[in-house]
């Protein structure tokens, strides 16, 4: 499994019984224009629908893509949690909607953060060993 994506969470509402709802935050492990992989202890089954808010933490202001409709396509158990593959529904890369634009912006920032992180971990200084 890939590692957790930096500074981003998926938030969704989970129903408990008839009237009670809980807002849940889940970590993301993959994100592209077609969907995402999130990890949570809440139970979903393939075929379930979920509406996600993606929230990227930034130094001055969050980037939020709210109300993304998704379909659970795969479920994998990992310890007491599950990894869920979510396909975004009715969201197209060529779409010029505000939601698509915010999702594009989040993906651009994620790519930059991952690129910086990989460059830092590949730098010669990080590979040096101290000898006594």
Question: Is the distance from CB of 68 to CB of 91 less than 8 angstroms?
Answer: yes
| pTM exceeds 0.85 | no
The gap between the terminal CA atoms of the chain, to the nearest Å, is 36
| Whole-number pLDDT of residue 125 | 52
Q: What is the CATH number of domain 8-120?
A: 2.40.10.220
At 101, phi and psi to the nearest 5? Answer: -65, -40
pLDDT tens-digit profile, the chain (132 residues): 578 998 999 999 887 777 888 899 999 999 998 999 999 999 999 999 999 999 999 888 899 999 999 999 999 998 889 999 999 987 655 566 888 888 999 999 999 888 887 777 765 554 444 444
| CA neighbours closer than 13 Å in the CB half-sphere of residue 128 | 7
């Amino acid at each position: 499994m890939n590692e957790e994506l930096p500074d981003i969470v998926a938030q969704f509402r989970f129903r408990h019984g008839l009237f009670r709802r809980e807002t849940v935050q889940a970590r993301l492990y993959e994100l592209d224009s077609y969907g995402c992989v999130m990890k949570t202890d809440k139970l979903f089954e393939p075929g379930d629908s979920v509406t996600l808010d993606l929230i990227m933490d930034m130094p001055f202001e969050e980037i939020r893509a709210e109300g993304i409709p998704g379909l659970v396509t795969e479920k994998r158990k990992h310890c007491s949690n599950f990894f869920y593959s979510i396909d975004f529904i009715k969201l197209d890369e060529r779409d010029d909607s505000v939601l698509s634009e915010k999702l594009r912006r989040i993906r651009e920032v994620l790519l930059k953060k991952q690129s910086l992180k990989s460059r830092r971990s590949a730098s010669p200084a990080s590979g040096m060993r101290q000898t006594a």
